[in-house]
Amino acid sequence: MVSVIGLGYIGLPTAVLLAQNGTSVIGIDITQHVVDSVNAGKLHIVEPGLDSALKYVVEKSCLRATNIPEPADAFIIAVPTPFTTGHKPDVSYIGDAVKALAPVLKKGNLVILESTSPVGTTERLSAWLAAARPDLSFPQQAGDDADVQIAHCPERVLPGKVLRELVSNDRVVGGMSAKASKMATELYRIFVKGDIVTTTTRTAEMCKLTENSFRDVNIAFANELSIICDKLNIDVWELIHLANRHPRVNVLQPGCGVGGHCIAVDPWFIVDSVPNEARLIRNAREINDHKSEWVLEKIKRTITDILTQKHGSTLSDIKVACLGLAFKPDIDDLRESPAIVIAQSIAKLGCQVLAVEPNIESLPEKLSRSNVALVQIEDALANADIICVLVKHSIFIKNKNIIGHKHIIDTVGLIGGFMQ
């Protein structure tokens, strides 16, 4: 029996895959609505392919959910680790999970932390458990002979491809003892087809943070290039396309900022641990956050130009189309989306916002203002004074009507002087 604590974007598909592969799984979540929907075989998140898989394992009684942990052979903790003000990591959900599971721990158990965590968190988790259960021994006390083994195994799957990547990606397992690594490897072998490599808990924690910081730094390079090119009157998309013809160059794509709940968060965990040393990583974060402000300034300048030309017009007469609200192409996930922040700021200026997001059916609360409307792309193109392309959804790429509008601010290279 495996218990998965936290039935969100990572915990739920992990629970489903374990169940699909013959393991009896109990899912734990503090939110009643999550527990109820899982038990009803209904998905409370959006992830391709997961709905039918969930329905199947719940119907077969291989997976059930509850709010309170029960005894199991292994526990996988997959709870959020956001940051608080000042970009400080918030590991309180891990602390809560530890408190909840400590009473049901027994000799022979394995506890795996999957949540992206600052370096040293797995050791802290083990210390918390040891304090809560002095009757059991843990790896920091007894190594391979400990009653309860502890490991870190960070998730590294791409939203939208979670089910496929959970199976095919390699996994890094950091055990607090050799036995912990071995036990965790055996557990992931149940559904992982990629390699499973073992290391220390601290290296495994840093590995996850490194992966997302690597991407953030590389996106920051592309975003900085886009601002430089704008100043030098060079088409950044053509430039990147040409530079990438070099066999050892692979510049990523600029955008309207970096969103999502991982890349824009995890690098801060490194900066928080070693603020004096993590200079490039901090800089990259700041460059990517600044990109949205830069885009907004560009939009404001265009609005001012239009108002100067149209005598007697006011901000409320200007219609700004925002193409895309999601945090990246072809998903419906609006969490931590820079496009939402930009649309919100335009709305606050007093302009009319024509939001186009083909992947959602209603506007999020943040945008439910009288001057924001969710419209079809045709309406936006026909009525807007300014078109801002914020997300490169496939459906926009195919729309030839976008080209040729008088005022286009294309942050993602959808159109412009150079078409790839």
Q: Which residues are catalytic?
A: 208, 262
CA distance readout (Å), 394 to 154, 218, 359, 399, 418? 30, 23, 11, 9, 17
Q: Token pair 């700041």 is at which residue?
A: 286
Q: Least separation, in Å, of the C-beta of 172 and ligand SAJ?
A: 12
Q: How far apart are the first and last CA of the chain?
A: 51
Q: What is the number of residues in the chain?
A: 420
CB count in 10 Å sphere of residue 21 = 15
Q: For residue 362, what is the DSSP state?
A: S
Q: Least separation, in Å, of the C-beta of 254 and ligand SAJ?
A: 7
Among 51, 73, 211, 317, binds ligand SAJ (CB under 6 A): 211
| DSSP H or E run through 16 | helix 11-20
Is there a contact between 205 and 172 (Cβ–Cβ < 8 Å)? no
Is 414 near ligand SAJ (CB under 6 A)? no
Q: Write out the E strands in 169-232.
A: 171-175, 196-199
Please choose, out of 65-73, 90-98, 258-266, 317-325, the segment that lies near ligand SAJ by the rule CB under 6 A: 258-266
Q: Which is nearer to ligand SAJ, 336 or 385 (CB)?
A: 336
Is 393 near ligand SAJ (CB under 6 A)? no
C-alpha closest to that of 82 among 150, 6, 16: 6
d(C-alpha 180, C-alpha 161), whole Å: 29
Q: Least separation, in Å, of the C-beta of 342 and ligand SAJ?
A: 12
Site for ligand SAJ in 340-379 (CB under 6 A): none
d(C-alpha 396, C-alpha 389), whole Å: 9
Is 255 near ligand SAJ (CB under 6 A)? yes
373: which 2 tokens?
């409307």
Q: Least separation, in Å, of the C-beta of 222 and ligand SAJ?
A: 6
Helix, strand, or coil (residue 184):
helix
281: which 2 tokens?
């990583």
Q: Which is nearer to ligand SAJ, 20 or 116 (CB)?
A: 116
d(C-alpha 4, C-alpha 114), whole Å: 10
Q: Which is nearer to ligand SAJ, 29 or 47 (CB)?
A: 47
Is 327 near ligand SAJ (CB under 6 A)? yes
Is there a contact between 156 and 115 (Cβ–Cβ < 8 Å)? no
Is 156 near ligand SAJ (CB under 6 A)? yes
Q: Which is nearer to ligand SAJ, 25 or 263 (CB)?
A: 263
Among 131, 158, 178, 419, binds ligand SAJ (CB under 6 A): 158
Among 260, 324, 358, 413, binds ligand SAJ (CB under 6 A): 260
Per-residue binding letters, 96-135, with ligand SAJ (x by CB under 6 A): --------------------x-------------------
Is 15 near ligand SAJ (CB under 6 A)? no
Across the beta sheet with 352-356, the strand order is: 372-374, 352-356, 319-323, 386-389, 408-410
Amino acid at 88: K
Q: Least separation, in Å, of the C-beta of 133 and ligand SAJ?
A: 30
Is 212 near ligand SAJ (CB under 6 A)? yes
Q: Least separation, in Å, of the C-beta of 155 and ligand SAJ?
A: 6
Whole-angstrom Cα Rg for the chain: 24
Is 285 near ligand SAJ (CB under 6 A)? no
Among 328, 343, 347, 388, binds ligand SAJ (CB under 6 A): 328
Is 263 near ligand SAJ (CB under 6 A)? yes
Among 11, 13, 159, 175, binds ligand SAJ (CB under 6 A): 159
Residues in touch with ligand SAJ (CB under 6 A): 116, 155-159, 211-212, 215, 219, 252-253, 255, 258-260, 262-263, 327-328
